Amino acid sequence: MLDTESNPTKAAEIGSRLILKDKIDIMYVSSTPATVNPVAGVCERYKMPSISTMMPVEMFLHGGPYHWAFDASCSVPDMVAAYLDSWKQVKTNKKVGLLAANDEDGIAWASGSQKVLIPAGYEVVDLGRFPHGIMDFGKFISGWKQADVEILFANLAPPDFIRAWRQCHREGFIPKVCAIGRAVLFPSVVEAIGGDVGLGTSTEVLWHPAYPFKSSVTGYTAQDLADAYEEASGKQWTQPIGGFYLGYEILADVLRRAQTLDKETLRRAIADTDLKTIGGHIKFNEKNVAVTPVGLIQWLKGKKFPFESKIVSGGNFKEIIPQTQLVPIPELHK
């Protein structure tokens, strides 16, 4: 297992080295466009069968079309559907403040949000993109206050969000909903904000112990896997545990069916995958993507750990049963 440090150049270099020097038989890569797309491109160049997970399929397809690379992950429209479903649970004025970084994820998020939120009846207050490392979000906060924004919808890196959300609290801007893509996927980030400031933030969930799926390898339920991880590590479960695990399930199934390391046979075996995993049903379409379930979680006070996530929406996936309803953030800070 090698770390690309989310650097596209390094990702491509590592992918090439694994293929040309280490002579791997199949590639598995996961998480973010900066890692997955460069590696998928290298695999296409060298005709190496590749599987990726934890990477929204639309972002994966930006680098296509693909013959050798396959992606099993969520879809952005499904993700947005889960956000919108959760917002219906809270009475708001439907005014949304958009905060998105000036990077690939943030730009795509902002563009997609406008196309979805406005037809759904939301007023979007978009004050532009911002560079990584910005220290003062005052322009955004004053604009949201002036526009009476009650929903904050953002996509940014954890350090940027921590600074932005702390400043929101200092300046008295506490919207009813704070829905954050990317930044608060992990409990460690919610804790790093400090005190209870991160309480009530919500984000997409690509995998959760409450998901009703089982492992094709061990028969583990999602809850079994999370419990086993926490017992073995002493640490709180996180979403990538299930995302990575389902990738290994696909690999095991492909190797079992292929019964050879011939590259073309492996590629065909991936394409023919029809497998129920701990992350949902995996079946690739003609574009080499398999869409997996995605819902929405809210961070609440925990019993075993400082913060624990609860599913508040299954979005388009009715098999994902919400554990609770979205709670307006001001109610959690009384």
Whether residue 3 is contained in a domain is answered as no
CA separation for the pair 59, 76 (Å, rounded): 9
Whether residue 172 is contained in a domain is answered as yes
Give me the half-sphere count of Cα atoms (radius 13 Å) on the Cβ side of residue 139: 9
Whether 115 and 179 share a structural domain: yes
Whether 197 and 88 share a structural domain: yes
Whether 102 and 35 share a structural domain: no
Whether residue 71 is contained in a domain is answered as yes
Whether 125 and 196 share a structural domain: yes
Whether 69 and 89 share a structural domain: no
Range of the domain at 230: 8-76+213-291
Beta carbons within 8 Å of 255's beta carbon, 6+ residues apart: 26, 266, 269
Find, among 74, 72, 78, 75, the residue nearest to 29 by Cα.
72
Whether 183 and 326 share a structural domain: yes
| Cβ atoms of residues 151 and 96 within 8 Å | yes
Q: Give residue for tokens 């990575």.
A: 244
pLDDT number for residue 225:
97
Whether 185 and 116 share a structural domain: yes
Whether 55 and 129 share a structural domain: no
pLDDT number for residue 5:
62
Whether 193 and 283 share a structural domain: no
Which residues in the chain show pLDDT less than 50? none
pLDDT number for residue 8:
81
Whether 86 and 156 share a structural domain: yes
The number of domains in the chain is: 2
CA separation for the pair 71, 55 (Å, rounded): 7
Whether 221 and 205 share a structural domain: no
Whether 160 and 131 share a structural domain: yes
Question: What three-state secondary structure class fits 70?
Answer: strand
- Angle, vertex CA 157, rays to CA 126 and CA 170, nearest 5: 70
pTM for the whole thing? 0.92
User: CATH no. for residue 96?
Assistant: 3.40.50.2300
Whether residue 2 is contained in a domain is answered as no
CA separation for the pair 20, 47 (Å, rounded): 11
